[in-house]
A and B are shown apart, each in its own frame.
Chain A
Amino acid sequence: MMSSNTASSSAAVAGSADSAAPRRNSKKPKYSRFTQQELPACKPILTPRWVISAFLLVSVVFIPIGVVSLFASRDVVEIVDRYDNDCIPDNTTDKVNYIQTPGDKSCNRNITVPKRMKQPIFVYYQLDNFYQNHRRYVKSRSDAQLRDNSSASDTSSCKPEDMYNGKIIVPCGLIAWSLFNDTYSFSRNSSQLNVNKKDISWKSDREHKFGSDVYPLNFQANGTVIGGASLNSSIPLSQQEDLIVWMRTAALPTFRKLYGKIEVDLEPNDVISVTLQNNYNTYSFNGKKKLVLSTTSWLGGKNDFLGIAYLTVGGLCFFLALVFTLVYLVKPRRLGDPSYLSWNRNPGGR
């Protein structure tokens, strides 16, 4: 660039005379493959060979993956125990009233382990028909307040659970307020099974989303309407892992949240007795509560969906490949046959 500039300035006199010529030329578009729309292009078409082999390839890849995922899912041992109805005394007519009245609501359940479960065994609670994704609910939180003590007053998004008697609530909002508060303790053969409640939340949440200097304040202070669990106001939010797990809202109305981990293996036919505190109100909206013990696989928990879907898609692709091959063999059709190309345009076809 530099050299051409100096050259043009030194040849200024000559350049002025010459400048007319390039200017006239510059009106002409420069030739490039882009401007002429002549970029080299690959122009594939859907030949039977390509399409049939694509479908075959998909089926060949998908069916094994489906089998593997199905096996992975089948390997997972999962125990689901629904307790919401059984933990209400038989003579109770008004379940909602029962759950809302304070008092001891402990309940004992016995679970038999069907197959050997290798540690870690994840303990989940599952709620059905609970809309954590409801618009009013899902927004009702203040991330700034959770993260940082200095933003404690940032509660504008938390309505209607932002203030109590003019004092700010930490953590504010409906999500925190409705924190799940059933508790479980497990024993096997009358010896306590330890449930590890450490590291059940996401590490990133503990470190970046929930501040270590943020302490609960005025939480569940409203004596008349208590939502869910209360929090120990001397422990910072970053260590309140139940809250952190709960605050990761679920996208579906049926969801499981991690309660803890049992870090011993369970043998088949072990009977585990669970002592649980049935506190959480799902009765008013006919929600179900389930206790879930599950091992895990490389694909996650027990979920046959992926395996079945892969097998279905793979099978369908195989079927399509077969059909297309048959049709191709039975009724071959020459591609690009000019006899299909009639230009007789009847006026009615307009």
Chain B
Amino acid sequence: MCRGIPEPKLTAMDAMIDKLTGAIFVFQIVVVIVLGIAGNVWKDTEARKQWYVKYPEESPWFELLIIPLRFELLCSIMIPISIKVSLDLVKSLYAKFIDWDNEMIDQETGTPSHATNTAISEDLGQVEYILTDKTGTLTENKMIFRRCCINGVFYGNDSGDALKDVELHNAVSSRSPDVIHFLTVMAICNTVIPMKTKTGDIFYKAQSQDEDALVHAAARLHMVFVNKNANILEIKFNGSTIQYEVLETLEFTSDRKRMSVVVKDCQNGKILLLTKGADEAILPIACPGQQTRAFFEAVEQYSQLGLRTLCLAWRQLKEDEYEEWSLLFKEANSTLVDREWRIAEVCQRLEHDLEILGVTAIEDRLQDGVPETIEALRKAGINFWMLTGDKKNTAIQIALSCNFISPEPKGQLLLIDGKTEDEVRQSLERVLLTMRITTSEPKDVAFVVDGWALEIALKYYRKAFTELAILSRTAICCRVTPSQKAQLVELLKSCDYRTLAIGDGGNDVRMIQQADIGVGISGREGLQAARAADYSIGKFRFLKRLILVHGRYSYNRTAFLSQYSFYKSLLICFIQIFFSFISGVSGTSLFNSLSLMAYNVFYTSIPVLVSVLDKDLSEETVMQHPQILFYCQAGRLLNPSTFAGWFGRSLFHAIVVFVISIHAYAYEKSEMEEVSMVALSGCIWLQAFVVTLETNSFTILQCIAIWGNLASFYFINWIFSAIPSSGMYTIMFRLCRQPSYWTTVFLIVAAGMGPILALKYFRYTYRPSKINILQQAERLGGPILSLGSIEPQPRPILEKEVSPLSITQPKNRNPVYEPLLSDSPNTRRSFGSGAPFDFFQTQSRLSSSYSRNKDN
């Protein structure tokens, strides 16, 4: 599959920071223009009288530009350049935290999680839609042969495992021909290659997990596929060896949904066509005389248990029929134009009048913790869409068993289907109408759409479908192709939703690359998806931790870091601007260049960099209250209004620092270098306290960084004060000996932090955000935690009961299945006949699932 070139991804946060940077840039330009004009006016009115400044009487026109340019230089620090570096640094650390996380290691395979894209961790906290693949993502993709139906006889229905069914073993040992044929197809209708180890054991190399399961199951039933030597297959059955020669392999494609082999029995020279495939690809081409009712029933029953079904069939070929066809096939194989289509056409000529042998049912178990993960993330306000190549019934069953959709009466499924444009439009409109009505109710409404209807909807009714996509929190799209998956991601992105796509196979690669965040599960289907993805995790359940813990922390930390970067730059810049008012609007810098540089890259960036260790809430609290993610999703911590808060804070602090320094250091003390260092010290002290106040949890590293930074400020300035050639020679020693310096600095701290502390305390106590409440509860041991820990308990127990049972025991399917059927009164009101809700009953097309390259 073509992977394409992935575009560099920009997080929503980066976009917001860019926007704010733009706003600050405009502000900077305005300041420069205003001060530039004021400076020129002052120069022409006042400065000409200040003889000691010696402005030349006549000056060229461009002299007018000098003062604005001076101010541009002064204000250029308004936009912190260091923010890019700091953000890159912390982002790579976020990624490292993901890599290092012990709780996200897949214990089975030992694969840790990995963040390939180190730049988008914040987006994880802002995810609104998760589009997930089914097989291998929600399920383990570990296929186990569970049941089969051979010629109308069901095996494995009682025990849930056909391999343990005595009747089947009896049938095998009694050499019932139907069973023998069935097993033969299971064993050789595939592309599996058996390998022998040194010890004589046989293991199979299969591209498809389904085939692997079938071959293994056949082996357990004494039909052992022993060897494949060029075209000769060797089968051992009850001690006797049977050889087959493979004449042709009619490969699987997702259009044909079946695969066949043509083999020649080496004993009697009979030529056989063995076929297996999805029910809708096999049952219609059964030979006219055969009764297929039993198979339809089997397929329906199995798929409602969430099992993947395959139909097996065969036909004996006459020699001349094969010869004739073989020529056509070779010709088709060698055509250059439309080869795939030609081959399919030729294959179709052979695959007809098949004798259906039976139906196999393969179980693909849900991964551990999938229902809990989905429930938690749905609580967190994330909408889930399941995109699968599987059958509708199988998909719905899996969706039910993993909390994807709730059973009636809370949940409600709306179906969009239809073969023609008109049908699709009608059902789309119906569904849309229901959606609009039910959005006000606390109902879990999901829509189900299949690939064909989706194609039409996307092509002709994009607008209506987009509206539906916005309204619906849950959707199941079955029978969709990889490119449709990508299109759906694109659709949601176009509505400005942040999307996360998670998948495990090569067919998910496009969707993963298209989404804002691509997560790959490094599972059984190779690493293709994991390589293309931004994050690769071992199991689906790690997604919860990835989003709730890593995504949320990353968002919070970056929100603080970026706004703080602007705050500190604005602070120093405002002081410079204020100083220009008392320096004749000439653009003099109060601070020397060394201090300015060190201020940005050193004094103010070290303490804030350790905010990457800050945790506003403990991981457990977040896991118990996933709803708190809402603050990240809605961007509550970084938006123009929070930024305005920081802007106001920097203005306030600049006024405090400036007014106090120039008044405390007035008259005989108003020496330039001293005033400059007093103001700078004031800024640094304020920084330390601001970071302290905004930090939620102090580790030893944070304490070292915040207070060590303050100490190193003095240390560095003492060093510079000891160098005779530097401008600030002896200044810092001189200041540190003055009581007035220390009183001034403490005054700045108290005056600057007092109102902020008071405001924060007031908000924290009397207008608390949900985060604050949880913090208080967490740290005071309040009642929320106990409440929270009790609440989620009943659910997992219930889920554990339901999900395995629904797959293994048919009698248990009713409780899950029935509620969906019952029409809820208010929907019936709106539709009269309740058209979309009887789709389970009216659906006459039976289903099985088959995919060799697993296109779900």
Contacts and interface: CB of A to CB of B under 8 A. Distances in A.
Interface of A: 24, 27-31, 35-37, 39-48, 51, 54-55, 58, 62, 65, 69, 122, 124, 126, 130-138, 143, 147, 160-161, 174, 177-178, 202, 204, 208-209, 227-228, 248-258, 281, 284-286, 294, 298-301, 303, 305-306, 309-310, 313, 316-317, 320, 324, 327, 333-338, 340-341, 343, 345, 347, 350
CB-based closest 10 A-B pairs: A336-B777, A336-B776, A336-B782, A35-B100, A178-B52, A251-B675, A41-B697, A135-B586, A335-B776, A39-B699
Interface string B40-61: 0000001101111111100000
Contacts of B105: 28-29
Q: Most chain-A Cβ atoms within 10 A of its Cβ — which of B50, B634, B663, B676?
A: B50
Contacts of B770: 340-341
B648 interface: no
Given A136-B586, A202-B730, A309-B751, A45 B775 contact: yes
Contacts of A47: 780
Contacts of A255: 667-668, 670
Given A39-B699, A133-B588, A253-B582, 4 more contacts: A36-B102, A133-B579, A134-B50, A336-B775
Contacts of A36: 100-103
Given A305-B666, A336-B784, A338-B787, A227 B773 contact: no
Given A35-B100, A300-B740, A251 B776 contact: no
B765 A284 contact: no
Contacts of A55: 754, 757-758
A335 B667 CA distance: 50
A337 B782 CA distance: 7
Interface string B735-776: 000111001100100110010011011001110101001111
B51 A313 contact: no
A336 B784 CA distance: 7
A20 B665 CA distance: 69
Contact of A252 (B96, B582, B727): B582
Contacts of B103: 36
Interface string B583-594: 110111010000
B615 interface: yes
A27 B588 contact: no
Nearest to B699: A39
Contacts of A161: 54
28 contacts: A24-B110, A31-B102, A37-B553, A41-B697, A46-B760, A55-B754, A55-B758, A69-B743, A131-B584, A132-B672, A133-B588, A161-B54, A204-B730, A208-B729, A251-B674, A251-B675, A254-B670, A258-B668, A284-B50, A285-B49, A300-B669, A301-B668, A306-B744, A306-B747, A310-B743, A324-B761, A336-B784, A343-B627
A39 B775 CA distance: 18
Contacts of A298: 739
B750 A58 contact: yes
Contact of A337 (B56, B590, B773, B779): B773
Contacts of B281: none
Contact of B765 (A46, A130, A320): A46
A251 B672 contact: yes
Given A336-B780, A341-B774, A43 B740 contact: no
B52 A333 contact: no
A350 B496 CA distance: 13
Q: Most chain-A Cβ atoms within 10 A of its Cβ — which of B47, B53, B55, B97?
A: B53
Contacts of B760: 46
Contacts, number: 270
A29 B381 contact: no
Nearest to B583: A133
A177 B676 CA distance: 24
Contacts of B664: 303, 305-306, 309
Nearest to B105: A28
Interface in B81-107: 96-97, 99-103, 105
Nearest to B50: A285
A39 B773 CA distance: 23
Given A133-B588, A138-B588, A250-B670, A45 B780 contact: yes
B700 interface: yes
Q: Most chain-B Cβ atoms within 10 A of its Cβ — which of A39, A130, A147?
A: A39
B99 A29 contact: yes
Nearest to B634: A350
Nearest to A284: B49
A267 to B, nearest CB: 24
Nearest to A350: B634
A45 B757 CA distance: 12
Interface in B584-614: 584, 586-588, 590, 613
B668 A124 contact: yes
B64 to A, nearest CB: 15
B53 A29 contact: no
A285 B739 CA distance: 36
B795 to A, nearest CB: 15
B4 interface: no
A300 B54 contact: no
B613 A209 contact: no
A138 B587 CA distance: 11
Nearest to B381: A345
A138 B53 CA distance: 9
Q: Most chain-A Cβ atoms within 10 A of its Cβ — which of B761, B764, B779, B784?
A: B761
B782 A303 contact: no
Contacts of B414: none
B701 interface: yes
Nearest to A122: B668
Given A252-B670, A306-B664, A341-B773, A313 B112 contact: no
Contacts of A336: 773-780, 782-784
Nearest to A305: B663
A313 B754 contact: yes
Contacts of B55: 136
Contacts of A137: 52-53
A51 B663 contact: no
Given A39-B613, A51-B761, A134-B583, A251 B662 contact: yes
Given A51-B761, A138-B588, A305-B666, A35 B97 contact: yes
A45 B634 CA distance: 25
A251 B665 contact: yes
Interface in B241-260: none
B70 interface: yes
B715 interface: no
Contacts of A209: 724, 729
Contacts of B667: 124, 126, 254-256, 301, 303
Q: Most chain-A Cβ atoms within 10 A of its Cβ — which of B49, B666, B777?
A: B666
A134 B588 contact: yes
A201 to B, nearest CB: 11
Contact of A174 (B54, B100, B698, B764): B54
Nearest to B627: A343
Contact of A313 (B97, B729, B747): B747
A285 B46 contact: yes
B681 to A, nearest CB: 15
B365 to A, nearest CB: 26
A64 B667 CA distance: 25
Contacts of B766: 327, 333
Q: Most chain-A Cβ atoms within 10 A of its Cβ — which of B54, B112, B664, B725?
A: B54
